[in-house]
Amino acid sequence: MDPIQNRFGYGAQAQSAALFDESLRKHMLRVYNYMGLGLVITGLVAFFVSQTPALYVPIFSTPLKWVVMLAPLAFVFFFSFRIHAMSAATAQMAFWAFAAVMGLSLSSVFLVFTGTSIARTFFITATMFGAMSLYGYTTKRDLSKFGSFLMMGLIGVVIASIVNIFLGSSALQFAISVIGVVVFVGLTAWDTQNIKEQYAENVDQESQQKLAVFGALSLYLNFVNLFQLLLSLTGQREE
């Protein structure tokens, strides 16, 4: 090949790669922005409800608490089966609604644990999440081979958690929390790499926005679950 043609060909490839990297960074920033705003909505709703006896007393002192606790799970199934049929705007609104419902479910955290331990656990969670998400984004290692193990671990944690609702075993809860932390730390890196690899520059704007919302949901769930598990391990309860 002519050296000049080779030089220009390499230059065009380098420019194309640089444009793709910039587009990917914007996509990931959108994912993190959606996730961050979802966490803000959840935190505000949880704090407001916990400070309003007229709201939390009718919820947590009646069977309605089970509806509140299971509602986020229903939203996750709804997202999983309907995300492809939704418009980007509908997907965003559903995500904000989900974040608010999750805040309602998590309001009991402020009733059980001290504010100091909640804040401390939040920053620990943010540090762990940030480190693992950065690893998932930058690593050249293929993390897909760990996906099946992580999903099996997740299913095991969910089943054990449901069983322990009836058993009330502190030893089992401790084991669930420890294993769950490992699982969600791994899922954070795995999901981040998946979000990065699923991005395609030639996909239309509508599909890119839906990918960003679904990616934000995955990371949001990892963060919230990691926070809850760490809080159950290290949180200081109200006396």
User: Residue 217 phi/psi, 5° resolution?
Assistant: -60, -45
Establish how many alpha carbons lie within 13 A of residue 190's alpha carbon, considering only the half-sphere containing its beta carbon: 17
**pLDDT 10s digits, 47-57:** 999 888 888 78
Any residues with CB less than 8 A from the CB of 37 and at least 6 apart, and which?
96, 99
**pLDDT 10s digits, 180-233:** 999 999 999 999 999 988 886 556 777 788 888 989 999 999 999 999 999 988
Query: pTM to 2 decimals?
Result: 0.86
The pLDDT value recorded for residue 201 is 57
The pLDDT value recorded for residue 217 is 92
Reading the block at residue 87, the tokens are: 């418009």
Mean pLDDT of 70-78: 75
Burial class (CB in 10 A: 0-12, 13-18, 19+), 221: buried
The model's confidence at residue 128, banded by pLDDT at 50, 70 and 90, is: very high
Burial class (CB in 10 A: 0-12, 13-18, 19+), 204: exposed
Top-ranked range on mean pLDDT: pick from 69-83, 116-130, 158-172, 190-204: 116-130
**pLDDT 10s digits, 100-113:** 989 988 888 988 89
User: Where are the domains positioned within the chain?
Assistant: 3-234
The model's confidence at residue 16, banded by pLDDT at 50, 70 and 90, is: low
- Cβ atoms of 34 and 95 closer than 8 Å: yes
User: Residue 41 phi/psi, 5° resolution?
Assistant: -60, -45
Reading the block at residue 103, the tokens are: 């805040």
The radius of gyration of the chain's CA atoms, rounded to the nearest angstrom, is 21
**pLDDT 10s digits, 18-59:** 777 788 888 899 999 999 999 999 999 999 998 888 887 887
Q: How many CB atoms lie within 10 A of CB 222?
A: 25
